[in-house]
Amino acid sequence: MQQNVNKWKDLELDEFFVFISITMLMTRNKKLDTKEYWSKDPLLNSPIFSKTISRDRYLQILRNLHFMNNEEFSSNDRLSKLGEVLRKIKDRFQSKFYPFQNLVIDESMILFKGWLRFKQYIKTKRHRLGIKLYVLCDCETGIFLDFIVYVGLQTHHQAEDVKRLGSSGSIVTILMDPYLNKVCILTITTVVRFYHNTFTKKNQYVWHCSRQ
């Protein structure tokens, strides 16, 4: 496979959508190695991949995909290279879907085995090693409404305007902020302390969403 950066061809929007679509399809047609999606072995062959985009081009895009100017990189923010993308994803989650009454906050793991400073190991999760998220979901549909990526102590600094709640309470308050002044039933499936209440596994709290 050619890895010469000088052979890079500018990425058009249509091709980027193809790249995203193929990447999403990979989660439904799992193989042991990315290159196997373009294998000609009869036991592994999945023609849709080679018909849609070449292996070398896909890997070239994957290797060079970048979402920010390195000159604007902040070493104090571990998510700075993805900050704008994450904000747009969250905005779409919240603007395109209005949830039902029952909501849930839980910890979720995204499988990742590469090197990452804030990679976590949680033995109780299906994917034990990876990136931990605090997620707010709609119980009726399972749709994500919001999420916070756990990056260590920096995660709790996002709640600089939330006082007296502790780190877990701050996370709950941030995730529930768009639903202030609305009545919803919030289920918290991890140990989270909020004000003077302690929520353990599968406890529920009827959240009259207003600040105190």
Q: DSSP secondary structure string, 8-35?
A: --PPPHHHHHHHHHHHHHHTTS--SSGG
Average pLDDT of the segment spanning 7-19? 91
Q: What are phi and psi of 185, to 5 degrees?
A: -100, 115
- Measure the CA–CA gap between 39 and 45, rounded to whole angstroms: 5
Confidence of residue 155 (pLDDT cuts 50, 70, 90): low
Average pLDDT of the segment spanning 187-194? 53
pLDDT at residue 198, rounded to an integer: 36
**Where are the chain's structural domains?**
8-64, 83-208
Examine the pLDDT at 124 and tell me if it is beyond 60. Answer: yes
pLDDT at residue 162, rounded to an integer: 54
- Please give the share of the chain, as a percent, with pLDDT higher than 90: 21
